[in-house]
């Protein structure tokens, strides 16, 4: 093979490699089938799927039925949707080793400090850790609201919400209206405290408008 033929073949091989590499990158970014709903069905535990921070808001007329959930908290107590009934509620899915979860923790704490006096409830749903890890995380970041430890058995809390809204990333933050229906969802890390503040305020204003 002459030098010209070798150079031509090298260019062709390089050109074919570019789309292949691009395809692999896209597959890695998209997560493919590696989402939490499928992991729950398989009984696996593969860590978090990175979300893109996208947010959706569901008009009241299009919301599904209230989500009923129940589980044991990191301190051994029991927490359920009956405890949050009638209140706008923030539900955050997280675990301690998830870097975006750690990054957004101060924003959740800020929202809790601002809105809990107004009756807004906050519930964490820990998808991976043992209780000791969850307690340590709460102490480190000043999290005062409870988290349900939902990493064992059939992951009942995650399944309850997966039936209402697709949860395919950790962290995911939901805002429930006073009826317990999903009103807003942020897939991935919160942009900042103001994003969550806006979603909570909008949901509170709905409740005020009904009275």
Q: Residue range 59-66: average pLDDT?
A: 95
Point out the least confidently predicted range of 27-36, 71-80, 190-199. Answer: 27-36
Distances, alpha carbon 61 to alpha carbons 13, 139, 201, in Å: 55, 40, 19
3-state secondary structure of 71: strand
* Mean per-residue pLDDT, 169-181: 95
> Residues of 77-112 as b/e, b for ≥16 C-beta within 10 angstroms?
eebebeebeebbbbbbbbbbebebbbebbebbbbbb
The gap from C-alpha 18 to its chain's centroid, in whole angstroms, comes to 34
The residue to which tokens 């990054």 are assigned: 103
| pTM, two decimal places | 0.77
**Predicted pLDDT of residue 58:** 96
Question: Greater confidence, 210 or 140?
Answer: 140
Q: What is the average pLDDT value for the chain, to the nearest integer?
A: 81
Q: What is the pLDDT of residue 168?
A: 72
């Amino acid at each position: 093979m002459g030098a010209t033929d070798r150079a031509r073949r090298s260019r062709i091989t390089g050109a074919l490699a570019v789309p292949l590499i691009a395809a692999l990158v896209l597959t890695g970014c998209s997560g493919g089938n590696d989402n939490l709903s499928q992991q729950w069905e398989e009984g696996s535990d593969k860590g978090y799927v990175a979300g893109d921070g996208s947010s959706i808001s569901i008009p009241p007329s299009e919301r599904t039925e209230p989500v009923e959930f129940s589980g044991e908290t990191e301190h051994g107590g029991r927490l359920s949707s009956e405890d949050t009934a009638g209140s706008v509620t923030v539900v955050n899915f997280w675990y301690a080793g998830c870097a975006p979860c750690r990054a957004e923790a101060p924003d959740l704490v800020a929202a809790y400090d601002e809105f809990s006096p107004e009756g807004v409830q906050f519930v964490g749903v820990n998808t991976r850790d043992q209780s000791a890890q969850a307690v340590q995380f709460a102490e480190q970041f000043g999290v005062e609201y409870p988290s349900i430890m939902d990493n064992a058995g059939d992951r009942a809390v995650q399944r309850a919400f997966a039936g209402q809204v697709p949860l395919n990333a950790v962290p995911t933050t939901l805002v429930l209206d006073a009826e317990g229906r999903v009103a807003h969802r942020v897939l991935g890390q919160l942009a900042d405290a103001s994003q969550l503040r806006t979603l909570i305020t909008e949901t509170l204003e709905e409740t005020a408008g009904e009275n």
